[in-house]
A = this chain, B = another copy of it.
Amino acid sequence: RSGEMAKLTQLIDNEVFRAYATYTTIVLLKMMLMSLMTAYFRITRKAFANPEDTVSFGKGESAKKYLRTDQDVERVRRGHLNDLENIVPFLGIGLLYALSGPEVSTALLHFRIFVGARIVHTFAYMIPLPQPSRGLSWAAGYAVTISMAYKVLKTALYL
């Protein structure tokens, strides 16, 4: 058993894999913050999707008026969905990339740009900043993922 554990520990001891673990955890925690932001806006804007969520604001007809969409809530939800659409590919392709033997410095460059771009994207979406701020930050994360995918296919291609 201790032999097996040693091998697992070696994976997490590898520098590239540790960098992947660190940046992936950070960007997933950032994505999880979107849930809290949605809850915050739903409560402060009194805009809910489920009747059972409005009970504490009154009964019957007086609660029904809180079953509505709010543009701030919808904006956070779009940002959250955009995170899912972009972070899921990073999660999968990034893991395979980390296992494909890149240079530590190259891997760090990829992970840092991706996570930085997603953080900028969130600010650009939530403030919101004028375009093309959001578009460019989205594109930077997208390009990094394509670059990692290219390395994975070059290293591992087996059809």
Contacts and interface: CB of A to CB of B under 8 A. Distances in A.
Which of the four size classes fits the interface of chain A? 35 or more
A142 interface: yes
Contacts of A29: 89, 146, 149
B87 A88 contact: yes
B131 A31 contact: no
A26 to B, nearest CB: 8
Please give the count of copies of this chain that the complex contains: 3
| A74, A80, A101, A130: residue with the most chain B Cβ atoms closer than 10 Å | A101
Interface string A1-37: 1001101111111111111011011001101101100
Interface in A101-131: 101, 125, 128-131
Contacts of A28: 88-89, 92-93, 149
B91 A85 contact: no
Contacts of A15: 1, 158
A68 to B, nearest CB: 14
- For the complex of A and B, list the 3 residue pairs with the smallest distance between their C-beta atoms, beginning with the closest: A18-B158, A21-B156, A18-B156
